[in-house]
Structure 1
């Protein structure tokens, strides 16, 4: 009986879980190690569109995710005074049906993938990577918690933007690009403000974008973006204080009310900087980076989860096509790179549209939203969201 090649995957988020699923299809077994005690809760709603919709269909997850998806009707954009600038129908920008964008909570997506993992995928929670080295065509690793020694044919770093695997094997590479913004996300009990049911409401002010949207089970999510040159927000102990101070600068009562509600409920928001990862290569020998560890797109692009799914599919199919691991990893990078480059370029350009840098930018952006025909604005948003994804099909 032939022994299956083994991948040691660090991180059981969407990238790591998806990789384990596709590696099984390629005839590999996977050992996933995850620092947390279980699949992580929380995070913002993400969009699956284009190639990622085909990926989840091939994984047999489409029907389940459709049932769990958030059914947005409109996105209403308001100015600092609460006056409506424009309202988009969600399907006008993101499409509808099987070809449209699917809005899903990050933790829901991760849990569904984990529940559909094959028997060949072994998840070790509350576990981290100890000593690790590449010796010939093998990876030799020790797990820090259990002390177990593992020999693998591939080490995959799917451990996020501040990847431990990347810091070990790409030691001298300065790859973090801070975009000059920070964000916070959390959810509380409640429904969308006023009559904005099944709607995403965006309050804009210079240097701020505060977004409220309704989740399932009468939960209300808050997503805040603001101009900020700090790059260590994830290390701050009092995250709710950070959110309160950031949103006070916008001076919008509806937003302050939700922040106060979250603070009273004892919420612990996710707070971090909008930072991209730029690397000239995503693999070295038998070590591969996936997802945010390799090419964080930030939430501005709206395609981070989708690209994680597609990247895992490409990896699995390349490894299935050849036993030459180096060749498979090179092909994976070659096929994925053009779309990632375009999406990162989009993150840079769109950030200043979502969160204007100053009063002048704020007035100009608002004026454009008021005077341009609705169909022009919708066409621009829809085309910019889809253009990069077409590269994966070429």
Structure 2
């Protein structure tokens, strides 16, 4: 079917109705491209509004081309965080090494961007808000597939039928649970837990990250600029995921406090600030690995389908690229053929990025004294130099197809 034929069909046939669950990164990116290809899009989000703030995130490699094609790259460059230094400390707070951040991330200075998560979410929402329907403070309560579509009931009482439904609702996706079964089937725990929150910048930090380590424990302070607040981060190795703490913030705080009870440097103050923080985020360091990303008329995208873990630095980029590839695969195909094309074209890129880290293999957070010393030796040897890249990096391991000419009639 030619683009002209597709455009004619859009003008003469009702626009297919689709629902996207999740309005963070993958959701609005998918909404943008599906709207472009002629779909009538609704996005449902359990939060009452866009989530502002959040940790800084990277947009690198292929994902940069996605945001360029969306027209939001200039604004993201304006919001770019100029992180200038990454300093590593030992257990006593002494400096081990201070390096250029790109030395370790594999990023390219002047090309890759790092922004606050809220800045990216807001840019994506702004790009699509006038063309799609957003339902905030709501969520899918039931989802039932039939021959004619997907019947959905919402928590706030509405009921609708959609031609397709997409789960872009993160690592702990409800859409995935509805259609594919319990998270435990797909959850790959990588041996670490973390807690993140903001606290007062009483340390004089500016445009830098300071990372303290002892075997199996890490504490970081990330100063986005020279402002009054810093992002605090506490990470620790644990043999089994503490699933019983996921829905109990006090249990989370108690667990973290017990792990860091005898820690030095600035950690006691960080633990105290954690107890008072109103933005604590606690989770495991995990991946989602699935043999397939769709069933019937329901498909997953982003962390819901293939969370790579923050250790790769590629979660947001995979979400952006996956959304682009999913929409492109559906531009000239029905749902069955489109979902198959999506998996065929995107899975290698996902796997290459997920394979950057293995279970218990976090280079920045060594779990044993010997591994920590090896890492420190490596940091000292770098001497601030950025090593030459070998081959094609994982974050650029996919060339995007050109967007089709079809526009919404």
Q: TM-score, normalised by structure 2?
A: 0.87
**Deviation sequence 1:131-157 (CA, Å, 0-9, x none):** 221112511111121x22211111101
Which residue is equivalent to 1:69? Answer: 80
Which residue is equivalent to 1:24? Answer: 35
Which residue is equivalent to 2:208? Answer: 199
**Deviation sequence 1:163-211 (CA, Å, 0-9, x none):** 11111211277111111100111112326x35x4211111111101211
Which residue is equivalent to 1:263? Answer: 275
Which residue is equivalent to 1:248? Answer: 261
- Aligned counterpart for 1:379 among listed residues 353, 377, 387: 387
Q: Is the 8 A contact 1:240 1:268 kept in 2?
A: no
> Structure 1 residues 383 and 304, CA, compared in 2 at 3 Å: closer, same or farther?
farther
Q: Is the 8 A contact 2:26 2:323 kept in 1?
A: yes
CA RMSD of aligned residues (A): 2.3
Give matches, 1:1-394, under 5 Å: 1-92=12-103, 93-97=106-110, 99=111, 101-145=112-156, 147-171=157-181, 174-190=185-201, 193-194=203-204, 196-216=205-225, 217-228=227-238, 229-232=240-243, 233-238=245-250, 239-249=252-262, 251-264=263-276, 266-320=277-331, 322-348=332-358, 351-371=361-381, 375=385, 378-379=386-387, 387-393=393-399
* 1:116 match: secondary structure: helix
Query: 1:118 Cα shift?
Result: 4.4
- Stretches of structure 2 lacking an aligned partner (at least 5 in a row): 1-11, 401-409
Query: 1:342 Cα shift?
Result: 1.6
The whole-number CA distance in structure 2 between the counterparts of 1:91 and 1:362 is: 20
Query: 1:305 Cα shift?
Result: 0.5
Q: Is the 8 A contact 2:364 2:375 kept in 1?
A: no
Greater shift after overlay, 285-294 or 163-172? 163-172
The whole-number CA distance in structure 2 between the counterparts of 1:258 and 1:131 is: 41
- Stretches of structure 1 lacking an aligned partner (at least 5 in a row): none
* 1:305 match: secondary structure: helix
**Deviation sequence 1:197-251 (CA, Å, 0-9, x none):** 21111111110121111124432011221102233242223144443333335x1
The whole-number CA distance in structure 1 between the counterparts of 2:98 and 2:228 is: 23
The structure in which a higher percent of residues are helix is 1
* 1:119 match: secondary structure: coil
